[in-house]
Amino acid sequence: MPTRELSAPAPSPASAPRLARLRRFSESPLARYGMAVLSTLAALLLQQLLGKLIHPTPFILFFGAVMLSGWWGGGGPGLLSVGLSLLAVDYYFLPPFHSFKFQEDVGASLILFAAIATAITRLNVKLRQTNAERTELLLRERQARLDAEAERARLRELFIHAPAHVALFHGPDHIYTLSNPLNDEALGHRQVLGKPLREAIPEAADQGFVALLDRVYATGEPFHAQEMPVKISLQDGTEREFFISFVYQPTRNARGQIDGVATFGFDVTDLVRARTEHRRVEEELRRAEANARFLSEASAVLASSLDYESTLSNVARLAVPMLADWCVIDLAQPDGTLQRVATVCASPEDSERALQVQQLRTTTGGLSSQSPILLAFQQGHSFLIPILTPEFLRESSQTEEFAQVLASARPLSFIAAPLVVRGRSLGVLSFVTSRSGRRYTEVELELLEELARRAALSVENALLYRSAQEAIRLRDEFLSIASHELKTPLTPLSLKLQMLGREARRQPESPFRKAVEDYITVGSRQVKKLSELVSDLLDVARIAGGRLRLEFEEMDLGVLTREVTGRHEPEAARVGSTLVLEAPESVLGTWDRLRLEQVITNLVDNAIKYGAGKPIRIQLETDMGHSILRVKDEGIGIAPENLSRIFERFERAVSERHYGGLGLGLYITRTIVEAMGGRIQVDSTPGQGATFTVVLPRKPREEAPSNPSA
Ligand code: ADP
């Protein structure tokens, strides 16, 4: 708004004190009374000079002096001048001259002069007072005007520099009369002054601001609004949006009539945006937490069982109704087709419809080649259909009937996420919204894709587990058949070798006898070895099939240990080892004799095999109802990381090139020992030998398993 300049002429800074001094002096008693004396003296002098001319009225000039004294100095000086004039006239101009005595005939004129002069003085005093008051009033008025102008200027400064958008509008058309720089900047520095708002900012009318100003102008009611969105079109064609808290205040003229509107706006865009952002982040965080919770619950469900059809159904139940109103699961069949394995609906009313869909799918095929379920399965990537249209449903269905059943569920949004592992599609998880009114976006797609990834891994794990189980079953079956088949010819072979030995002994003179006996020894040893291997295989098959039976009897472990040790002495001697037995005469207990013999044999065999030709100690002792058997060698030993593994099936800790074997001996040994309620452990330092310790209860415990299995 073009502000009015201050109009009062301001005194120059240098002359102001001089004038003030002068005024102060002129008002001092000295000046006022001095002026009375001087003016009376002047009248006297003039009367002396002009006496001849104005002889008939010697008072005339003194009236002037009295008038001047009274006007200049007020009552006191006026009366002083009256007194002095009376004395001067009486002395100089009335007979007897040069004397203060006066004749009676002039007394009346003196009294008249005194009366008139006093009256003039009184009038002067009055005039002076009136003048003084007028001057005072004038001064006050001027000061008030100056103050008002200064106030306006200050107000304008305030508006200009206010940290708010300030604008003043005049008249019913809301003519812009002031727009402060902040407001100018918000408006993109448009020329708005002097223009009506509707013309200066056309978009203001569209956003209702002109109507608001109309209302405030018409009613005189101020208007307040918080965080109102405002859109301003900038010169470069872009649009700027911000949020303003407004106050619209009517302005009034001197007569108190509304003559315009003042608007004050506070830009709260940053605040609103920060709050919006805060809400968005909070919402995102909440959703991320919910998603993480959902995924972790789903993972727990997926990991809970290897029966993937039922775990997938449970996962579908988790997704409904949190993420979908329907969740259907289709899994790939060996023939490459898709088969529905689960349908979960949020509303029980939909269950019947789901059944109908299922029936139609099996009878008429249901899905067309354009179905997103089939496409997701074939192409291995997800499909998000934010809004399902009847046309889309028709395109996805093979028959009109199928499309109608689908449409009757009033589906809204759809996501098909394939179960893909290492590039192979195992099936499809499909999610549909209907009654909830929810529409899927990329956010849900991401979450459901993650769910499908985890579900796919779980399905694959289950499939792998199933095929591994099947492979193990086939292997055990093969082992069982193979070991029986292998065992069958071994017994007659062994008998034939014995018969051949007897025949050779019957012909002592034969030149081949020595060679034949040597072959028989080697052959018998190999047959025995083969027989032991086959027995091991048979035992493993028995354990796997749960057919390992124990026959408990009273027996002497001391005697058995001595027997087995004695039997192994030749073999030990052959590799350069000695067997040292440290055992009491008799250690009685209830055990399975044959199986225990197998345990001692396995441990001593291993000690000879891996004992590097060093001495082997076989120790037997008893302790608090237990028998403890130790087989110690000083051979190659076992690396710490292999210690626990060697008791498992087919596990070995040596290279096959150096040491033959199937890795079954310790497995069978552990199974037998544990079946008798005992335990076996090994201590070893690589390169320094190994000690196997078997602890057996002297009597089988009640709950000791007698039918162990792997
Ligand atoms: P195998 O001897 O036929 O390999 P075992 O089940 O009897 O099978 O033994 C498993 C593995 O344990 C052996 O391959 C060997 O690595 C290790 N082992 C067993 N006994 C000893 C031992 N006394 N010293 C060193 N290693 C041994």
Angle at 33 between CA 30 and CA 35, to 5 degrees: 100
Which amino acid residue places its CA nearest to atom 17 of ligand 1? Answer: 653
Between the two ends of the chain, the Cα-to-Cα distance in Å is: 99
pLDDT number for residue 595: 95
636 Cβ inside 6 Å of ligand 1: yes
State the distance from the centre of ligand 1 to the C-alpha of 705, rounded, in angstroms. Answer: 26
Atom number, ligand 1, closest to the C-alpha of residue 633:
23
Confidence label for 363 from pLDDT (cuts 50, 70 and 90): low
Q: Are 455 and 419 in contact (CB under 8 A)?
A: yes
The reply to whether ligand 1 has any atom less than 6 angstroms from the CB of 663 is: yes
What is the predicted pLDDT for the residue at 22?
85
Question: For ligand 1, what atom is nearest to the CA of residue 668?
Answer: 6
Question: Nearest Cα to 575, choosing from 517, 619, 615, 530?
Answer: 615
> CA 550 to CA 705: how far, in whole Å?
9
pLDDT of 620 reads 97
DSSP 388: -
Q: Give residue 475's pLDDT band: very low, low, confident or very high (50, 70, 90).
A: confident
Better pLDDT: 306 or 668: 668
Half-sphere exposure (Cβ direction) of 266: Cα atoms closer than 13 Å: 9
Task: Give the pLDDT mean for 437-445.
Answer: 91
Q: Which of 598, 628, 624, 642 is nearest to 696 (CA)?
A: 628
Question: What is the 8-class DSSP label of residue 89?
Answer: I
**Ligand 1 lined by 653 (C-beta under 6 Å):** yes
Q: How much is the pLDDT for 257?
A: 94
Instruction: Return the pLDDT at 707.
Output: 47
- pLDDT of res. 214: 95
- Residue pLDDT, tens place only, 626-656: 999 999 999 999 999 999 999 998 899 998 8
Report the separation in Å between the CA atom of 610 and the middle of ligand 1, taken as the mean of its atom positions. Answer: 7
Q: Measured from the CB, is residue 608 less than 6 Å from ligand 1?
A: no
Distance 581 CA to ligand 1 centre (A): 21
Contacting residues for 536 by C-beta, under 8 A, at least 6 apart: 662, 664, 665, 668
Average pLDDT, the chain: 88
Of 393, 339, 332, 398, give the one whose Cα is nearest residue 364: 398
Query: Which residue's alpha carbon is nearest to atom 8 within ligand 1?
Result: 663
Q: Strand 165-170 and strand 258-267: pairing? A: antiparallel
**526-558 per-position pLDDT tens digit:** 898 888 888 888 888 888 888 888 999 999 999
Instruction: Give the range with max mean pLDDT: 232-246, 296-310, 345-359.
Output: 232-246
State which of 537, 606, 683, 684 you would mutate to test the pocket of ligand 1, scoring each by most atoms of that ligand within 8 A of its C-beta: 606
What percent of the chain has a predicted confidence (pLDDT) above 70?
Answer: 96
Bridge partners of 693, per DSSP, are 630, 681
pLDDT attached to residue 12: 55
- SS3 letters across 143-178: HHHHHHHHHHHHHHHHHHHCCCEEEEEECCCCEEEE
369 CA distance to ligand 1 middle (Å): 60
15 pLDDT tier (thresholds 50, 70, 90) = low
> Does ligand 1 lie within 6 Å of residue 662's CB atom?
yes
Given this model, what pLDDT does residue 8 score?
Answer: 39
Residue 73 has pLDDT above 50, yes or no: yes
Quickly state the pLDDT bin for 710 (edges 50, 70, 90). very low
- Map tokens 């109507």 to a residue: 211
pLDDT for 674: 94
What pLDDT, in 10s, does the model give residues 568-614?
999 999 999 999 999 998 999 999 999 999 999 999 999 999 999 99
Residue 635 CB less than 6 A away from ligand 1 = yes
pLDDT bracket for residue 302 (50, 70, 90): confident
Q: Is 607 close to ligand 1, i.e. is its CB under 6 Å away?
A: yes
Nearest CA, atom 1, ligand 1: 663
Check whether 474 has a pLDDT greater than 80. Answer: yes
Please tell me the residue having the least CA distance from ligand 1 atom 7.
665
Residue nearest to atom 3 of ligand 1 (CA): 661
> Which residue has a Cα nearest atom 23 of ligand 1?
607
Q: Is the CB of 680 under 6 A from ligand 1?
A: no
Whether ligand 1 lies within 6 angstroms of the CB of 77 is answered as: no
Structure tokens at 550: 């124990």
What's residue 578's pLDDT?
Answer: 97
Q: What is the spatial distance between Cα 205 and Cα 212, in angstroms, rounded to a whole number?
A: 9
Around Cβ 241, how many Cβ atoms within 10 Å?
Answer: 10
Confidence label for 365 from pLDDT (cuts 50, 70 and 90): low
**pLDDT(703) > 60:** no
Atom 16 of ligand 1, residue of closest alpha carbon: 653
Per DSSP, 97 falls in state: T
Residue 5 confidence class, pLDDT cut points 50, 70, 90: very low
Residue nearest to ligand 1 atom 13, measured at CA? 652
